[in-house]
């Protein structure tokens, strides 16, 4: 009972933010990139709920438009590594032998590259932008899924139901995708929840370094960076975007924990 | 003479372990003809399950066949590519496992699991496959198949699960059924039902059965022939009747003594003291000698071969004395 | 380990060769003419087949040469080595601080399962794992650097003491990022140890809880932390790049970020290679420490 509660609370919190992001134009009438140099660095007021930034843009508006960018990229960035990692993990463990050791050597190599170093190097190649972020998260992220799925498959491979399926002479594809996949997928789905958090953190960090989503698009990482010089007076400029990320991370953690508890039953 | 369904000739299997190469199977041979039912009996670690896995190409990655031949319908398995081997095996044989819940996929409805082979291997239509599945369910004694078709394995009782597993095994219309202790996990009444089912299948459709177990009573119930396995070899083979009434190997003799006798009211469970030998070392003496009541210095000279004795085959230097063992052994037991 | 080093060299080589545009254009800037480009390409060896270039690249690494910076013509290796002490101190400081934070909290939580203190400690990873590195840094600057003015908020001192003083906040940032990960696995492994038969045996023998914690639990917990740290080393090293930036410290990470702005690709190549090497080396060291602490582990 308690596990479903965790799951629903997490999903509710995330869903609420997603709705706010989707209906952002209905919630605020400001434009997230429109500057108003007569009204910069205002404190919170009835007109500007979270004040204005150094260029006079409405901070509240930028926060919820930022949710669009960070959530959308964060969620979509894990799809590709998920698919690649799961497929290679399946292939590696299922084929075994040379295929397995070849894929595992590639995995080891990727593991040696710190994610941010890889991301920065890729930004160097493709230039800052969403494309670089997606490529970097894909290159850095598939490895974890590959390892998780591989170890699950190695265990499942020795289970009698897989032996039984093999013995009945079903085609290999059928055994792999109908019998194996549903039984080995759950742990990778749980991991995907925390991976979305990691990818949002990456977007934020790259945004902070000026290597992420190009300005002036509203994005939480670049908002932190823009707010840092004003930290003594307008402390909320850098603080609130970070809290938004913590909020997203918190709800995804709850979803992940809820899923774990549900799967363990 | 007709070609046997399966012929295993001098099979050897080695397993790589942390303590060295383990010779798990050291020359095992047998034939199965239609309608035959043989029981392979031994302690855990004797190699009986590995024998099945070797035949069915299910050995774990650290084990491999190092010698001997396996023929299915006269075709040598070792000469085939993995795909062709798998096809030949699944066209002719099927297996049921000790633990049905582990052998059934937890996330697929039982009906779909039974219908899978007709649908995806034999290429039948969806409705036809379902019809076949329902008739298989009826054949293995699952009543009310329509309503149970959509259940998942965990929603069934142990006996029903094993029936589902048998239905799946039969779905490919096999000629030989390999059974790896399929009744061990079941309680006695269910066990009897499953055995009755297997017996019917054998009598009605000429199914050959290879039954691996440590339970002598089950072999007595179902099989004509028995192979007693010890340390990777057969140490006594013969008809169930002969071996059970006149054991010619001390190991068989001890096993029979150790087994609870269902005919007697008192169930006394003897165990054979001592451990099975370490098969990572070369075998230079009779491997059973350290645990044997009849062992003499002769048993340390070499490993005895499987030779005719009475109506059976026995691998023991002292098998000719078997008629006296009952009195000898009871004296020893008293002395202890 | 050899295949990994080989893979790293291929990967870095591939990254550098995927960079669009000619290095000659970067070097010559406005003065590029086809003739000059050709000369430069020949000097750099870019007109030779890829496989030959790869062999030159590997042989240069073996000779300790990572090329020279396009920007100030200094050897890349020298630039990296100059910034090594800072990165090393940050890494060490971050790891030590995170153990100081995570270990007591995990013991506290595991010693009374389900109690309030356990609930509180369990909440730490749920919140902590979602905190952006840069934001934690900025918050620490706000709190300790500007409100209480205990620690410097940027730069790297000259004496050892001032250096330790100045890396405290960045190290704490790294520790705050790492602790949730550590706490999560430490708490779980300690609960497992406390439930184990050997701890029950010790209890039955009448050994005090304090001693059980010290002898049985702590040792195993430290082994567990080393393993967790080893697994997360790449994440840790990567986070340092970002943290150095927040505190405007001239470490290896900053070197790389600056090089990107100047399209100084020998430095990007050198630092990428260097980081990958550090990760491999640290993983090896954690394996050795693990083997030293745990008698069951045998090195192959």
The pLDDT, as a whole number, for residue B266 is 41
B99 three-state secondary structure: coil
Question: Residue range B200-212: average pLDDT?
Answer: 90
pLDDT score at A30: 86
Q: Is the pLDDT of residue B333 over 70?
A: no
pLDDT over 90 at B123, yes or no: no
Are A152 and A176 within 8 A, CB to CB?
Answer: no
Highest mean pLDDT among B270-279, B311-320, C47-56: B311-320
Helix residue ranges, H only, chain C: 2-17, 23-28, 34-44, 50-62, 76-111, 116-128, 133-140, 160-194, 197-204, 209-212, 218-231, 233-246, 252-261, 265-293
- H/E segment holding residue A72: helix A59-77
Of A109, A122, A253, the CB nearest to C4: A109
**pLDDT tens digits, B216-229:** 888 998 999 999 99
Mean pLDDT over the full length of chain A: 88
- B312 contacts B242 by C-beta, under 8 angstroms: yes
Task: Identify the pLDDT of residue B265.
Answer: 39
Nearest to C241 by CA among A96, B35, A115: A115
Using the predicted structure, report yes or no on whether residue B3 has a pLDDT greater than 60: yes
pLDDT bin (cut points 50, 70, 90) of residue A145 is very high
**Sign of CA pseudo-dihedral C49, C54, C55, C56:** positive
The CB-side HSE value for A39 (13 A sphere, CA atoms) comes to 14
Please, which pLDDT band fits residue B43 given cuts at 50, 70 and 90?
confident
Of C129, C271, C276, the CB nearest to A197: C129
For chain C, what percent of residues have pLDDT higher than 90?
8
Which residues, listed in sequence order, are joined to residue B233 by a DSSP beta bridge?
B230
Verify A-B touch: 3 or more CB pairs within 8 A. Answer: yes
pLDDT of residue B1: 58
State how far residue B14 is from chain A, nearest Cα, in angstroms: 18
Distance CA C201, CA C36 (A): 80
The larger pLDDT score, comparing residue B23 to residue A213, is at B23
Interface touch A183/B107, C-beta < 8 Å: yes
Contact indicator for A213, A130 with CB cutoff of 8 Å: yes
DSSP conformational letter for B321: G
**Is a pLDDT exceeding 90 seen at residue B69?**
yes
Which of C220, C280, C214 is CA-nearest to residue C288?
C280
Once rounded to an integer, what is the mean pLDDT over residues A60-81? 92
| A182 contacts in chain B (CB < 8 Å) | 105, 107-108
Cβ atoms within 10 Å of B194's Cβ, excluding its own: 25
A14, A101, A116: which to substitute to probe chain C, counting the most C Cβ within 10 Å? Answer: A116
Residues on chain A touching C7 (C-beta within 8 angstroms): 105-106, 108-109, 112
Identify the pLDDT of residue C39. Answer: 77
**Contact (CB, 8 A) for B236 and B251:** yes
Q: Residue B328 — pLDDT band, cuts 50, 70, 90?
A: low
Q: Is A232 on the interface with B (CB under 8 A)?
A: no
CA distance A80 to A91: 16
Q: Is pLDDT above 60 for B186? A: yes
* Res. A249 pLDDT band, cuts 50 70 90: very high
Q: What are phi and psi of C235, to 5 degrees?
A: -60, -40
Could you tell me which chain A residue has the CA closest to the CA of C149? Answer: A232
B307 membership: H or E segment, kind and range: strand B307-309
Using CB atoms, list chains with 3+ pairs below 8 Å to chain B.
A
Are the C-beta atoms of residues B37 and B208 closer than 8 Å to each other?
yes
Distance CA A92, CA C262 (A): 41
ipTM of the complex: 0.86
Q: What is the mean pLDDT of residues C278-284?
A: 85
Contact (Cβ atoms closer than 8 angstroms) between residue A246 and residue A13: no
Contact check, Cβ <8 Å, B172/A160: no
Whether residue C6 is preceded by a cis peptide bond, meaning omega within 30 degrees of 0, is no
Q: Is A183 on the interface with B (CB under 8 A)?
A: yes
Are A221 and A207 in contact, with CB atoms under 8 Å apart?
yes
Question: What mean pLDDT is reported for chain B?
Answer: 87
Measured CA to CA, the distance from residue B226 to residue B245 in angstroms comes to: 12
Kindly report the nearest CA distance between residue B205 and chain A, in angstroms: 19
User: What tens digit of pLDDT does each residue of C82-92 get?
Assistant: 888 888 888 88
Cβ atoms within 10 Å, residue A43: 11
- pLDDT for B262 equals 52
C199: number of Cβ within 10 Å: 20
Starting at the earlier edge strand, list the strands of the sheet with B225-230.
Answer: B93-96, B176-180, B208-213, B37-41, B225-230, B233-239, B312-314, B307-309
The answer to whether A170 faces chain B, any CB pair under 8 Å, is yes
CB-CB under 8 Å, A112 with C276 = yes
CA-CA distances (angstroms) from residue B89 to B6, B14, B86?
10, 22, 5
Read off the tokens for B323.
């008629």
pLDDT 10s digits, C204-252: 777 777 777 777 777 777 888 888 888 888 888 888 888 988 888 888 8
- On whether any CB of chain C is under 8 Å from the CB of A141, the answer is no
Among candidates A116, A204, A231 on the partner chain, residue whose Cβ is nearest the Cβ of C146: A231
The pLDDT of B70-79, averaged and rounded, is 92
| pLDDT at residue A209 is higher than 90 | no
Decide: C142 and A231 in contact? Cβ < 8 Å: yes
Interface with C, mutate which of A98, A110, A113, A264 (most C CBs under 10 A): A113
The CA-atom distances, in angstroms, between A6 and each of A253, B24, B211, B247, C126 are 9, 51, 49, 65, 12
- Nearest-5° Cα angle at C136, C140 to A70: 150
Give the integer Cα–Cα distance in Å for C96 and C90. Answer: 10
Q: Which of B201, B170, B177, B245 is nearest to B32 (CA)?
A: B177
Task: Average the pLDDT over C176-204 and give the result.
Answer: 83
Amino acid B269: pLDDT:
45
Read off the pLDDT of each residue in B14-20 and give the average, rounded to a whole number: 86
pLDDT tier for residue C262 given thresholds of 50, 70 and 90: confident
Kindly indicate the confidence band of residue B37, based on its pLDDT and cuts at 50, 70 and 90. very high
Dihedrals phi, psi of B11, to nearest 5 degrees: -70, 130
- Alpha-carbon distance of C188 to C150, in angstroms, equals 35
Q: What would the pLDDT profile of A219-231 be if each residue is shown by its tens digit?
A: 999 999 998 888 8
A96–B172 C-beta distance less than 8 A: no
Please report, in angstroms and rounded to a whole number, the separation of the first and last CA atoms in chain A.
11
pLDDT of residue C149: 74
Note whether A180 and A94 are within 8 A (CB).
yes
User: What pTM value is reported for the model?
Assistant: 0.79
């Amino acid at each position: 009972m308690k596990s479903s509660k965790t799951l629903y609370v997490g999903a509710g919190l995330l869903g609420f933010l997603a709705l706010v992001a989707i209906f952002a134009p209905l919630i605020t009438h400001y434009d997230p990139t429109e500057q108003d140099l007569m009204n910069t660095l205002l404190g919170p007021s009835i007109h500007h709920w979270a004040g204005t930034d150094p260029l006079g843009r409405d901070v509240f508006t930028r926060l919820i438009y930022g949710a669009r960018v960070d959530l959308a990229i964060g969620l979509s960035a894990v799809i590709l590594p998920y698919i690649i990692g799961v497929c290679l993990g399946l292939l590696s463990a299922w084929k075994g032998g040379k295929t397995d050791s070849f894929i595992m050597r590639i995995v080891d190599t990727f593991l040696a590259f710190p994610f941010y170093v890889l991301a920065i190097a890729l930004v160097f190649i493709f230039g800052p932008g969403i494309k670089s972020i997606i490529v970097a998260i894909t290159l850095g992220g598939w490895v974890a899924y590959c390892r998780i799925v591989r170890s699950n498959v190695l265990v499942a491979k020795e289970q009698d139901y897989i032996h039984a399926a093999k013995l009945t002479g079903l085609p290999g594809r059928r055994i792999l995708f109908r019998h194996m996949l549903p039984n080995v997928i759950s742990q990778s789905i749980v991991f995907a929840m925390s991976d979305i958090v990691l990818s949002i953190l990456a977007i934020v960090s790259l945004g902070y370094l000026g290597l992420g989503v190009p300005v002036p698009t509203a994005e939480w990482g670049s908002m932190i960076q823009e707010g840092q010089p004003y930290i003594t007076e307008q402390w909320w400029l850098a603080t609130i975007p970070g809290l938004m990320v913590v909020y997203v991370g918190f709800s995804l953690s709850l979803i992940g924990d809820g899923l774990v508890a549900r799967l363990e039953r | 003479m007709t070609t046997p369904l399966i012929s295993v000739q001098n099979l050897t299997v080695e397993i790589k372990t942390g303590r060295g190469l383990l010779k798990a199977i050291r020359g095992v041979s047998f034939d199965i003809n239609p309608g035959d039912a043989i029981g392979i009996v031994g302690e855990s670690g004797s190699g009986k399950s590995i024998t099945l896995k070797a035949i069915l190409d299910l050995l774990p990655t650290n084990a491999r066949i190092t010698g001997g031949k396996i023929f299915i319908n006269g075709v040598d398995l070792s000469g085939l590519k993995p795909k062709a081997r798998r096809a030949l095996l699944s066209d002719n044989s099927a297996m049921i496992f000790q633990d049905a819940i582990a052998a059934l996929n937890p996330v697929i409805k039982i009906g779909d699991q039974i219908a899978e082979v007709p649908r995806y291997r034999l290429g039948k239509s969806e409705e036809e496959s379902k019809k076949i599945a329902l008739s298989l369910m009826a054949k293995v004694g699952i009543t009310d198949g329509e309503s149970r078709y959509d259940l998942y394995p965990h929603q069934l009782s142990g006996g029903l699960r094993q029936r589902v597993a048998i239905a799946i095994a039969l779905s490919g219309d096999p000629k030989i059924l390999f059974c790896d202790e399929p009744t061990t996990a079941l309680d006695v009444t269910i066990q009897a039902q499953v055995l009755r089912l297997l017996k019917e299948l054998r009598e009605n459709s000429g199914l050959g059965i290879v039954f691996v177990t440590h339970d002598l009573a089950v072999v007595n119930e179902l099989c004509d022939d028995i192979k007693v396995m010890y340390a990777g070899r057969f140490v006594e083979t013969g008809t169930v009747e002969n071996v059970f009434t006149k054991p010619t190997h001390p190991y068989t003799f001890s096993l029979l003594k150790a087994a609870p006798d269902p005919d007697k009211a008192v169930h006394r469970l003897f165990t054979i003291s001592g451990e099975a030998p370490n098969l990572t070392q070369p075998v230079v003496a009779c491997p059973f000698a350290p645990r044997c009541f009849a062992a003499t210095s002769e048993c340390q000279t070499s490993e005895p071969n499987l030779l005719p004795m009475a109506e059976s085959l026995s691998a023991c230097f002292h098998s000719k004395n078997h008629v006296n063992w009952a009195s000898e052994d009871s004296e020893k037991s008293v002395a202890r | 380990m050899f295949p990994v080093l080989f893979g790293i060299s291929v990967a870095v080589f591939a990254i550098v060769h995927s960079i669009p545009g000619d290095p000659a254009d970067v070097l010559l800037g406005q003065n590029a003419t086809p003739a000059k480009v050709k000369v430069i390409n020949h000097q750099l060896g870019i007109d030779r087949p890829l496989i030959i270039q790869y062999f030159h690249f590997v042989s240069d690494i073996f000779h300790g040469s990572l090329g020279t910076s396009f920007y100030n013509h200094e050897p890349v290796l020298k630039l990296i080595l100059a910034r090594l002490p800072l990165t090393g101190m940050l890494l060490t400081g971050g790891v030590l601080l995170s153990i100081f934070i995570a270990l007591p909290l995990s013991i506290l939580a595991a010693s009374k399962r389900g109690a309030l203190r356990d609930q509180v400690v369990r909440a730490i990873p749920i919140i902590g794992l979602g905190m952006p590195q840069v934001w934690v840094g900025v918050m620490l600057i706000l709190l300790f650097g500007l409100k209480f003015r205990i620690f410097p908020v940027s730069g790297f001192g000259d004496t050892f003491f001032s250096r330790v003083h100045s890396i405290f906040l960045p190290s704490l940032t790294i520790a705050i990022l790492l602790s949730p990960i550590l706490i999560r696995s430490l708490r779980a492994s300690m609960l497992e140890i406390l439930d184990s038969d050997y701890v029950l045996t010790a209890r039955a023998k009448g050994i005090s809880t304090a001693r059980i914690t010290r002898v049985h639990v702590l040792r195993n917990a430290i082994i567990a932390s080393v393993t967790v740290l080893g697994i997360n080393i790449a994440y840790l090293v990567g986070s340092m790049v970002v943290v150095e930036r927040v505190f405007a410290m001239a470490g290896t990470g900053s070197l790389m970020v600056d090089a990107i702005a100047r399209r100084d690709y020998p430095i990007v190549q050198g630092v990428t290679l260097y980081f990958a090497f550090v990760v491999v080396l640290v993983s090896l060291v954690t394996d050795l420490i693990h083997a030293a602490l745990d008698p069951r582990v045998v090195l192959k």
